[in-house]
Structure 1
């Protein structure tokens, strides 16, 4: 996880995996680009990130829709906690 966070700070190349790339872009303040990375994807990971992005945007209805599609319960904690939870889950899969 620390390597991933360091890559964001150093402006290293974005990860190849679209869901992880979306989190990378979101952490850099690029919400629109992050959303484009996952907008047309139907993998559970991408839909989970999609849900997070809409929750961050303040669109709870849309976020809940994507949580259901991802098979995840809606996250109600802090955004930063959810971002880290998703990033850790994706990194554990070796998607970096």
Structure 2
């Protein structure tokens, strides 16, 4: 699956089959299904990529303090761009353009 295919799948009613848990969480996050995405992130704590995802989700939620905690755990600077831009960067860590 490419980034474009993944992004386009956001209009489907069901998560595409065969996605990794990381991409599944991002699929839900991209549809503003925060609780579903967050539950997946919580299942994979202590993995730097999931910690970054967790930071993004708390930023999406509007909880800057909690997001800062998770960015620190992910050993990443707090993201300076838009939520959509960060979502794209997270997806692109896993999928080609």
TM-score by length of 1: 0.85
Does structure 1 residue 23 correspond to structure 2 residue 64? no
Q: What residue number does 2:66 align with?
A: 62
Deviation at 1:15, TM superposition (A): 4.9
> For structure 2, which runs of at least 5 residues remain unmatched after alignment?
none
Structure-2 residue corresponding to 1:50: 54
The alignment covers a number of residue pairs equal to 92
- Structure 1 residue runs of 5 or longer lacking an equivalent are none
* Structure 1 residues 40 and 27, CA gap change in structure 2 (3 angstroms): same
Partner of 1:80: 84
Give the structure 1 partner of residue 16 of structure 2: 13
Distance in 1, Cα, partners of 2:9 & 2:19: 13
The CA distance in 1 between the partners of 2:93 and 2:30, in whole Å, is: 16
The answer on whether the counterparts of 1:35 and 1:53 sit within 8 Å (CA) in structure 2 is yes
Deviation at 1:71, TM superposition (A): 1.4
Q: Identify if the C-alpha distance between structure 1 residues 3 and 22 changes in structure 2 by more than 3 Å, giving closer, same or farther.
A: same
The alpha carbon displacement at 1:14 in A equals 5.3
Q: Tell me the TM-score normalized by structure 2.
A: 0.84
